[in-house]
Structure 1
Amino acid sequence: MRAVSLILGILAALGLLLGLLPFFGWLNWIFVLPPAILGLVFGVLARDRGATTLNVVVAALAALRLMLGGGVL
């Protein structure tokens, strides 16, 4: 489960890079938050601190981007 969590975290981080661009914030709802939260669950179940931290950071940055953009952009 550790590998699944890391893969989901890395894919979510790559999606976050695209979601930080103007007018692409909506990608955070589809391609960043769900995989990051799922990866977080797998990381907690695997008791892997690195994977859990990666997913928490990605989810927090995506949520911050959504708050700053008003949740739409």
Structure 2
Amino acid sequence: MLNIVSILIGLFAGLFALVGVIPFPLVPLLNWVAFPLALVGTVIGMLSSSNSGRNLNLLILAISGIRLFLTGGLI
């Protein structure tokens, strides 16, 4: 059950992260929403017996984290 919750959180955070990659004004700020959501999903995925939810959220963390790192966290 926790794995399904983790996957759902990962899909929701992934939607924000993928839209946040678009370089329009103020849209990359969605990565500030995707990063904490993926972090919560990763913790929930770690409590699960399966790894798929955790791995999905780690991928979203990497995408949004690299995007925030490269742009200084702004745009």
- How many Å separate the matches in 1 of 2:66 and 2:4? 26
- How many Å separate the matches in 1 of 2:11 and 2:53? 9
Q: CA RMSD in A?
A: 0.9
Question: Quick one: percent identity of the two aligned structures?
Answer: 35
What's the CA shift for 1:47?
Answer: 2.8
Number of corresponding residues: 72
User: Structure 2 residue aligned with 1:28, among 20, 27, 31?
Assistant: 31
- How many Å separate the matches in 2 of 1:63 and 1:21? 15
User: Structure 2 residue aligned with 1:47, among 34, 44, 49?
Assistant: 49
Q: Aligned to 1:71, what secondary structure does the other structure show?
A: coil
Stretches of structure 1 lacking an aligned partner (at least 5 in a row): none
What's the CA shift for 1:67?
Answer: 1.0
Stretches of structure 2 lacking an aligned partner (at least 5 in a row): none
- How many Å separate the matches in 2 of 1:72 and 1:48? 35
Deviations 1:43-63 (A, max 9, x none): 000132111110001001100
Question: Does 1:12 pair with 2:13?
Answer: yes
Moved over 6 A (4+): none
The residue identity in structure 2 corresponding to 1:13 is G
Q: Contact conserved, 2:3 with 2:52, CA < 8 A, in 1?
A: no
What's the CA shift for 1:33?
Answer: 0.9
- How many Å separate the matches in 1 of 2:54 and 2:35? 14
The residue identity in structure 2 corresponding to 1:26 is L
